[in-house]
Amino acid sequence: MVKVDIKKDVRRYSNPHRDTKRWKELYNERTSVERCNSRMKSYLTANSLHVWGIEKVKTQIYLNAIVLLVSALAMAKENKGKKAA
């Protein structure tokens, strides 16, 4: 067994190590965030903002995130009502 400094090549020696439980958790979290980013770009105006300045851009993105969350909550509530009926 050879000890390797993971800081020398972070792309080859990841921390946490690949295929560990923690790595899989982080990967799943990252992919879910990327799906949200994709939805914000596709269905909301995150891809073509018409405002200038970092504060205005952040406000616009936050509003997009709120709309995405509210729509997800509405769909969850609707699906819950259908299952109860």
Q: Residues 45, 69, 38, 81: is their CA dihedral positive or negative?
A: negative
pLDDT at 84 (0 to 100): 60
Domain boundaries, the chain: 1-43, 48-85
More reliable by pLDDT, 84 or 38: 38
The letter for the amino acid at 29 is E
Task: Give per-residue pLDDT as tens, 23-80.
Answer: 888 888 888 888 888 888 888 887 888 889 999 989 988 988 898 899 889 988 888 7
Return the structure tokens found at 59: 């406000």
Residue 64 CB coordination number (10 Å): 19
